[in-house]
């Protein structure tokens, strides 16, 4: 399955007054409630996020959220249609289970970034820790730096682009997601192999890099994907169980 | 889940503020482990005196008399010197101008039920059950001076909710260890250490980690090597912070399920389970912030 990039980082929401929440005084629940009740086209700003959890989760409209600082766990989780920017680092599980829209982290992301996400675009300008894109189901993830170990574990669909290096066991037990890595891969997980970069892959990677606002020659990347040897049970392995 | 917040202040001008800085960090990790808590503070002149050993004993109602201890230390104490007993919050401190081993031996003979939670010339360890913020308030953390300090909020998994099962575990002079996670093979490592003559206070998995590090340091390892060796022997999930008289180390297991984040400036280095515990530190906006890599030992010296 190939997802279509609905928008890119350069696309901006409609001009609208910005509703600001300062989390030194305002409550995270109040922020999320306002976001959930918001119509398309609205804009929100979050000041002093201070690493608080669950910022801008469950967005279900075409709206903009700017988080000005470091976010805690599960920021922008379950996003559907929102354009959420974290000007800082993100904690565990940023954009987990995203359905559509864009989440942009200008710093680093902790582990399990984009976990189980079905669609949309997650851009991390810095590094992502372990388990980036674990069980991804259609999301596109573009990481400017390195990713940690066990990334794209059991990845089912979508694309993961890594402009730096990948940690150990990349793409372990991968299904049909496609992984593009520019730098070194510490090791490949079970059933993940390097594959040929054909024209269609160069074109799709160019599109992903462009959507993430990044330069770079797609020809410098290596594609990785499933060798498809784990799809069916092999009777010779029965003694292992 | 447990919470860790640790701070090493390189800039001496910040040291009078240690307690208030650590309090802000502790508040943010309370909901990671609200059942009990522990604190270790280094180089606080009201708690420790260089040249004197200080034992941190669990509990404030031990009714320890310095005369009982002095009677057992008669040959060892300098002419005219006596031991000193003080109560800080839920902790009883016993100090004397003798080697820590001798002081611990005298306390054990006079008060066999007393549990030593901390020992050394430079560190005081304060542990108790209850809400971590209340534990800190009872001990007067807010106003404390210190060069290094560690706090831990515990969500108990491997042993009971008791003051003794709280972290830090301090089993050698000026050595403290706190742990987020669980060791899976602690029983077999405990048996092996017992075979080598190491004595244990509890059935707690983290105590095994602390005893192992102390054992390796005693065998001549430096702190970094001891923690590399720990990774080869102890299996399980862990983010550890280990402090000694003049250094602090952080290590995560190679799978790295348990969180950790480090921030560093010229003035201080801080480690916490989550960024929110670091958010109010002075100069955080210009700090170098990173997650420690799996399986790598990081150390900083004062």
State pLDDT tens for residues A167-217: 999 999 999 999 999 999 999 999 999 999 999 999 999 999 999 999 999
| Banded pLDDT at A16 (limits 50, 70, 90) | low
pLDDT of residue B178 exceeding 60: yes
B294 CB neighbours in chain A (<8 A) are 130, 148-149
Q: What is the mean pLDDT of residues A44-69?
A: 98
Residues of B annotated as catalytic (active site), given as ranges: 2
Place A3 in a pLDDT band, splitting at 50, 70 and 90.
Answer: very low
Residues from chain A that touch B293, judged by Cβ atoms under 8 A, are 148
Angle of the B223-233 helix axis to the B205-218 helix axis, nearest 10: 130
Q: Is A43 on the interface with B (CB under 8 A)?
A: no
Task: Note whether A129 contacts B: Cβ–Cβ < 8 A.
Answer: yes
Over residues B105-124, mean pLDDT: 96
Mean pLDDT of B56-78: 94
Task: Tell me what pLDDT residue A2 has.
Answer: 43
Q: What is the pLDDT of residues B76-96, one digit of tens each?
A: 999 989 999 999 999 999 999
Per-residue model confidence (pLDDT) at position B110: 96
Beta strands in chain A (DSSP E): 18-22, 43-47, 64-68, 80-86, 100-105, 121-124, 137-143, 157-162, 178-181, 192-195, 222-226
> CB–CB of B276 and A110 under 8 A?
no
Residue B102 in this model has a pLDDT that exceeds 80: yes
Segment holding A98, helix H or strand E: none
Q: Is the peptide bond before B206 cis (omega within 30 degrees of 0)?
A: no
Q: Do B274 and A111 touch (CB under 8 A)?
A: no
Look at residue B166 and tell me whether its pLDDT is greater than 80.
yes
Contact A51 B277 (CB under 8 A): yes
Q: In the predicted model, is pLDDT for residue B13 greater than 50?
A: yes
Give me the total of CB pairs closer than 8 Å, taking one residue from chain A and one from chain B. Answer: 42
Question: Closest-CA residue in chain B for A68?
Answer: B285
Mean pLDDT of B179-184: 95
Whether A116 shows a pLDDT value over 60: the answer reads yes
Write down the pTM of the prediction. Answer: 0.92
Mean pLDDT of B118-123: 97
Residue A181 corresponds to which tokens in the numbers above?
């890595």
Of B256, B275, B294, the CB nearest to A70: B275
Per the CB < 8 A criterion, the answer to whether B146 and B122 are in contact is: no
Do A73 and B274 lie within an 8 Å CB cutoff?
A: yes
Best A87, A91, A113 residue to mutate vs chain B (most B CBs within 10 Å): A91
Q: Any idea what DSSP says for residue B175? A: E
Mutation for A interface: B275, B280, B288, B292, most A CBs within 10 A:
B275
Query: What structural domains does chain B harbor?
Result: 3-48+132-301 (3.60.20.10), 50-121 (3.30.70.980)
Residues A163, A216 contacting (CB under 8 angstroms): yes
B277 contacts in chain A (CB < 8 Å): 51
Mean pLDDT of A220-239: 90
**CB atoms < 10 A from the CB of B31, how many?**
13
Of B275, B290, B293, Cβ closest to residue A51: B275
Class at the top of the CATH hierarchy for domain A47-227:
mainly beta
In this complex, the residue of B259, B280, B289 whose CB is nearest that of residue A89 is: B289
pLDDT at A1 (0 to 100): 41
Which pLDDT belongs to residue B74? 87
pLDDT > 90 in chain A, percent: 88
- Residue A73 in contact with partner chain B when CB distance is under 8 A: yes
The domain locations on chain A are: 47-227
Write the residue in A72, A91, A149 that is nearest to B294 by C-beta: A149
Q: Which helix (H) or strand (E) holds B67?
A: helix B66-72
Q: Does the pLDDT of residue A7 top 60, yes or no?
A: no
**Residues from chain B contacting residue A52 (CB–CB below 8 Å):** 276
For the stretch B212-262, pLDDT in tens is 999 999 999 999 999 999 999 999 999 999 999 999 999 999 999 999 999
Residue A198 distance to chain B (closest CA, Å): 35
Q: What is the CA radius of gyration of chain A?
A: 18
A129 to B291: CB separation less than 8 angstroms, yes or no: yes
Q: Which of B256, B279, B289 sits opposite A50 (nearest CB)?
A: B279
CA nearest neighbour of B274 among A96, A28, A49: A49
pLDDT at A12 over 70: no
Yes or no, beta carbons of A73 and B28 under 8 Å apart: no
Nearest by CB to residue B276, choosing from A72, A111, A130, is: A72
Contact A111 B256 (CB under 8 A): yes
The torsion region of residue A28 among left (phi > 0), alpha (psi -120 to 50) and beta comes to alpha
Predicted confidence at residue A17, as pLDDT, reads 87
What are the start-end ranges of the H helices in B111-222?
A: 132-139, 186-195, 205-218
Which of chain B's residues have a Cβ under 8 Å away from the Cβ of A72? 274-276
CB contact under 8 A, B290 and A108: yes
Distance CA B251, CA B260 (A): 9
Given an 8 Å threshold on Cβ–Cβ distance, is B256 in contact with A149?
A: yes
């Amino acid at each position: 399955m190939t997802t279509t990039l609905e928008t890119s980082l350069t696309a901006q929401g409609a001009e609208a007054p910005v509703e600001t929440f300062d989390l030194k005084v305002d409550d995270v629940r109040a922020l999320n409630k306002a976001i959930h009740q918001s119509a398309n086209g609205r804009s929100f700003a979050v000041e002093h996020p201070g690493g608080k959890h669950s910022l801008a989760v469950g967005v279900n409209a075409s709206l903009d959220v700017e988080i000005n600082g470091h976010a805690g766990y599960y920021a922008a989780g379950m996003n559907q249609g929102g354009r959420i920017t974290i000007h800082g680092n993100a904690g565990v599980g940023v954009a987990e289970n995203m359905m559509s829209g864009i989440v942009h982290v200008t710093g680093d992301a902790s582990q399990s970034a984009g976990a189980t996400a079905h669609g949309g675009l997650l851009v991390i300008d810095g590094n992502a820790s372990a388990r980036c894109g674990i069980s991804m189901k259609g999301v596109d993830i573009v990481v400017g730096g390195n990713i940690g170990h066990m990334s794209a574990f059991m990845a089912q669909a979508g694309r993961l682009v890594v402009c730096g290096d990948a940690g150990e066991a990349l793409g372990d037990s991968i299904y049909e997601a496609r992984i593009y890595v520019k730098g070194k891969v510490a090791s490949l997980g079970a059933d993940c192999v390097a594959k040929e970069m054909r024209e269609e892959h160069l074109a799709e990677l160019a599109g992903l890099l462009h959507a993430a606002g990044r330069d770079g020659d797609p020809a410098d990347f290596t594609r990785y994907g499933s060798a498809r040897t784990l799809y069916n049970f092999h009777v010779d392995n029965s003694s292992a169980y | 889940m447990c919470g860790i917040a640790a701070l090493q202040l390189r800039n001496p001008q910040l040291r009078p503020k240690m307690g208030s800085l650590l309090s802000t960090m502790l508040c943010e990790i309370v909901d990671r482990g609200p059942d009990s808590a522990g604190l270790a503070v280094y180089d606080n002149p009201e708690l420790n005196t260089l040249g004197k050993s200080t034992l941190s004993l669990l509990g404030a109602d031990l009714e320890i008399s310095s005369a009982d201890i002095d009677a057992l230390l008669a040959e060892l104490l300098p002419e005219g010197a006596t031991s000193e007993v003080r109560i800080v919050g839920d902790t009883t401190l016993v100090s004397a101008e003798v080697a820590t081993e001798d002081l611990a031996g005298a306390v054990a003979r006079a008060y066999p039920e007393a549990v030593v939670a901390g020992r050394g010339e430079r560190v005081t360890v304060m542990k108790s059950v209850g809400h971590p913020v209340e534990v800190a308030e009872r001990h007067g953390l807010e106003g404390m001076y210190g060069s290094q300090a560690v706090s831990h909020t515990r969500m108990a998994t491997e042993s009971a909710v008791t003051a003794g099962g709280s972290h830090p575990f301090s089993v050698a002079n000026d050595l403290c260890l706190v742990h987020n996670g669980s060791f899976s093979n602690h029983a077999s490592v405990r048996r092996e250490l017992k075979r080598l003559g190491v004595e244990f206070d509890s059935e707690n998995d983290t105590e095994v980690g602390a005893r192992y590090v102390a054992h390796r340091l005693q065998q001549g390892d430096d702190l970094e090597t001891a923690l590399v060796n720990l990774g080869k022997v102890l299996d399980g999930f862990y983010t550890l912070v280990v402090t000694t008289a003049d250094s602090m180390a952080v290590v995560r297991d190679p799978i790295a399920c348990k969180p950790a984040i480090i921030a560093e400036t010229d003035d201080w280095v801080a480690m916490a389970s989550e960024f929110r515990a670091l958010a109010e530190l002075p100069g955080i906006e210009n700090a170098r912030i990173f997650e420690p890599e799996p399986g790598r030992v990081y150390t900083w010296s004062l």
